[in-house]
Chains A and B, each alone.
Chain A
Amino acid sequence: MTALAVVPVVLATLLIGARGVAALRSTSDFLVASRRVSPTLNAAAVSGEYLSAASFLGTAGLVVKNGVGALWYPVGFTAGYLLMLVLVAAPMRRTGALTVPDFAEARLGSPGLRRFSALVVLVIAGLYLVPQFTAAGQVLTLVSGTPHWVGIVVAGAAVSITLALGGMRAATYVQAFQFVLKLLLFIVPAIWLVVAAGADTRAEALRPAEYAAFPRPTQVTFRLDTRLQVREPVTVLADGVPARLEPGEHVAPGDATWVFPEGAAVPEIAGAALPGSATWQQPLLDGGNGHPLLATWSILVATALGTMGLPHVIVRFHTSPDGRAARRTAAITVGLLGSFYVFTVVYGLLGGVLVPELYLSGATDTAVVALPSRVDGGTTGDVFTALLTAGAFAAFLATSLGLLLALAGALAHDLLPGSLRRLRLTALLAAGVIVLLALPAVRIDVGAVVTSAFAVAASTFCPMLVLGIWWRGLTARGAFVGMAVGLASSAGVMALGLVARPDPGLVALLLGQPALFSVPLAFLTMVGVSRRDRPPPGAEPAMLRLHLDERT
């Protein structure tokens, strides 16, 4: 029944979509609206765009799976806007460029660089979109009990129909309303959870005991083949059939349901931390590679520097009337995002004590939605589950639609110029491809994969934007080679890590989270190659112009 909670969200989006937008207004209204968007309103819109399923569900899920250190993810997501404020917001707005490919052409005058940037947009948007669909599918699966693929297909259908009916996302104020909606649907259930959980659970969440033994007979439905390290002999009911497991490694097949008896030792999983264990309580990201500090820094570098290169975010700043307003928008966004993310810890800590078995099943991204029914088995719990489901779905829709448009725009304008009518078709096809990609990606961690999109953005667009804005010496060839190196050392290296599957350790860490070396490498390459070239004539005025208040 709670699955129906997504219906109003989808309907509202559809309605907005079918009308082109909520309101059709007069030309003069429209001009006023687009020129006088206040920084506060625009910041709310930016936040509405940015808070995705990864923020709503993913980070709390990562806390359940990897421990308190996962709370660094939202810190990086927020710090991204501080760096954007410091380095790019105002000058970027002054270029008049709406997208990073636009910027590449405007600042460096190279159509080739524009096309290459569009290709990078595809990579980033793809990496960002697949986990959004996976998360939406997981939540629908959880609340409706349907198979995983149904959830993803329903999510894909909701997005596609909205796109097909012309629902190309609403204007700034609708997006700002989205932010308020998500904020309320995140904060109110969090407060209720803390109150309703009771003093004992609250105390337990702050002093979690290691999830060493099952406190009651526990049913675990594995999302995919899972390697379990069984520590003590145990007899489980594997799909209803008793099976005795000796200590050692066992593989639980995907979709299998095992019931562990009360008091049995909880098996361990490589790369995850037993909820409540000492590693789990550590405020740094470990991931089982033994270099928590490096892992934490790598996440922070990727998220903080990657934000400025996200294709669906940068375009929002264009709604600001001038560079100054864009800068104010970025500054206010830092505060708005912080007010959302401070509540992540509630879901993470309660998840660690109330739904620790998700650690075994791999469905940690559903922790947020699973919590209310653990606290209250009655109607109240159902209502809050429904509210959180609606919020998660709103987050999914808002980000996905923005990204699909960015992706379709890059395809239709920069890579395969064609008729404008093809654009909607392109967006639909892209949605279809993303659904196909999301179907096998059942096992991914939403928060972790989204971070790989940040790593690519930080290794490609971040150096080009920062150097293009602050250094007259950047050349088109330098930007191109630097971005190519950044792309290879981020996306390429992560792909290599997936194929090679190195043993846990420093190598596995650097292959999985390459931002720590790929970002400096991209910067150095860009500077090195540019220095061998002569910057085009007019590069210096073109750069200096970006620092001059356009109102003078």
Chain B
Amino acid sequence: MTRQRRVAVTSPQTRVAFAARRGVSAVPRSLSGDELRAAARIRRRQLRVAAGTLAAAALLLVGLPVLLGVVPVALRLGPVPVVWVAVALLPYPVLAGLAHWQLRRAERTEDGAEQIGRDRQDHAR
């Protein structure tokens, strides 16, 4: 068994903190015209996807406080005030659900666009 060189495994913070100041590699690999058009299309679609999730999140974060402002604390589900459940428990599954929804649609957008990009390349050939 050969002896492998050993290195310290460190957190990203440590790597950043200890890294010499790198000139940020702002020189990306240049994109072809096709790729640029595909990226522009993806960005537009991702914006639409994001808008849907943001609207739902806003409904929760802006709308729910308004609703809780008018529902009386005395309204109870068994012994528990409904408004307390609405602030203490309800938001978390809703947020997790929104995260799942957003993730699925964002990934699908990327995959779909990829497919289109590949089809075009095939046509070009």
Contacts and interface: CB of A to CB of B under 8 A. Distances in A.
A327 B106 contact: yes
Chain B contact-residue range equals: 35 or more
Interface residues of A, number: 95
A24 B9 contact: yes
Contacts of A69: 87
Contacts of B117: 552
Nearest to A330: B99
A547 B95 contact: no
A345 B84 contact: yes
A24 B10 CA distance: 9
A545 B39 contact: yes
B20 interface: yes
B35 interface: yes
A546 to B, nearest CB: 8
B102 A96 contact: no
A72 to B, nearest CB: 6
Nearest to B51: A86
B24 A106 contact: yes
A331 B100 contact: yes
B84 A283 contact: yes
Nearest to B66: A293
Contact of B87 (A25, A68, A86, A324): A68
Interface in B39-66: 39-40, 42-43, 46-47, 50, 53-54, 57, 60-62, 65-66
Contact of A544 (B36, B69, B102, B106): B36
A293 B60 CA distance: 14
Interface string A320-350: 0000100110110011001101101100000
Interface in A416-433: 417, 420, 423, 427
Given A24-B9, A27-B7, A206-B80, A334 B68 contact: no
Interface of A: 20-21, 23-28, 30, 33, 68-69, 71-72, 75-76, 78-79, 81-83, 85-87, 90, 96-99, 102, 105-107, 109, 168-172, 175, 203, 206-207, 278, 281-284, 292-293, 296-297, 300, 304, 312, 315-316, 318-319, 324, 327-328, 330-331, 334-335, 338-339, 341-342, 344-345, 402, 405-406, 408-409, 412-414, 417, 420, 423, 427, 470, 540-545, 547-549, 552
Interface of B: 4-18, 20-21, 24-26, 28, 30-31, 35-36, 38-40, 42-43, 46-47, 50, 53-54, 57, 60-62, 65-66, 68-69, 73, 79-81, 83-84, 86-89, 91-93, 95-96, 98-100, 102-103, 106-107, 110, 114, 117
What are the nearest 10 A-B pairs in CB distance? A338-B92, A26-B4, A345-B88, A544-B39, A168-B14, A334-B99, A20-B8, A409-B17, A169-B11, A405-B13
